[in-house]
Amino acid sequence: MIAVSRLLLPLHAALIAFTVIGHFIIAAGRNSYELSSQFGHMGGIPLVIYCLFMFFTVCATFIYMLVYFYKSMYGDEGYLTFTLPADTWQILLSKALTALLWEVVDIIVSGFCIMGLFFTNEMWVSFGEFFSKIGYYFYQAFGVRLNGIPIVLAIAVFLLSLLQSILVFYLCFTIGQISNNHRVAAAVGVFFGISVILQIVTTFSIMPFFYGINYSKTYDTMMKFLTYSCITEACVCTGCWFLSLYLMKHKLNLQ
């Protein structure tokens, strides 16, 4: 955890700092015509740079988690990781939880930064109204009343999809390390293979939900879709988990 945090904490702290600076610049521009016109002349370059930095932060977080996994499991550090007096599942769980936690932190921080950049006191009031009426708007748009269960299911789908993307990569690296040569290339090849299979299976399996959809039963359809997504993602996660564990126990090939 410390190994990961030493890079990702400063990165996210920098994103928050840029957001705070950007917020005050935008607020100052709003209150001053002169400042506003100067920013206008800059053609929104700072905003583009800020967006690129945010994009970089999101990508870097995910990529760093994968690099960290590979290094600590199948690089030289694996000699220590795999000789620690811990079961293989404990090692895998610690890596997966660390990655999941940082992914969630990354998404929450990025979301708050986007909102924080343009936030004003007036919007604060509007947002308050918006959130208080979000259930009403959702009902107007989709004919579905928001209550606890769909929200919990949606959060579960979100977390499971994050975990799935992490565990699929872990499985790819674990399969790749079996190879005696070009282990990373093998992992990338396996990733493309698994991605294609998952895409095909997902596309065909969700078709029934949208074929001949009955808008009077949107709520039922949404609930079924969320439940189905939860189950399929949980199945993929479980499959990746047990296959990775099996390979780590029976096919480990540290070189």
Partner 1 sequence: MESILQCRGLTKKYGNLVALHDVSLDLPSGQIIGLLGPNGSGKTTLIKLITSLLTQNEGTISIDGFEPGAYSKKLISYLPERTYLSDWMRVSDVIAYFEDFYDDFREDRAYDMLNRLQIDSSARLRTLSKGTKEKVQLILVMSRQARFYILDEPIGGVDPAARDYIMNTILTNYDPGATILISTHLISDIESILDYVIFLQYGQITLAAGADDIRMKHGKSIDTLFREVFRC
Q: How far is the CB of 69 from partner 1 (least distance, A)?
A: 14
Q: Note the residue count of the chain.
A: 255
Task: Rank residues 79 and 204 by Cβ distance to partner 1 and give the closer one.
Answer: 79
Q: How far is the CB of 132 from partner 1 (least distance, A)?
A: 47
Name every residue whose Cβ is closer than 8 Å to that of residue 157 and which is 6 or more positions away in sequence.
Answer: 226, 229, 230, 233
Nearest to 159 by CA among 114, 115, 108: 108
**Token reading at 200:** 């095909």
- Tell me if 145 sits within 8 A of 219, measured CB to CB: yes
Q: How far is the CB of 9 from partner 1 (least distance, A)?
A: 13
Task: Rank residues 75 and 116 by Cβ distance to partner 1 and give the closer one.
Answer: 75
Task: Rank residues 178 and 188 by Cβ distance to partner 1 and give the closer one.
Answer: 178
- Tell me if 55 sits within 8 A of 147, measured CB to CB: no
Task: Rank residues 11 and 206 by Cβ distance to partner 1 and give the closer one.
Answer: 11
Q: How far is the CB of 94 from partner 1 (least distance, A)?
A: 12
Chain residues binding partner 1 by CB under 8 A are 3, 6, 76-80, 82-87, 180, 250-254
- Which amino acid, residue 11? L
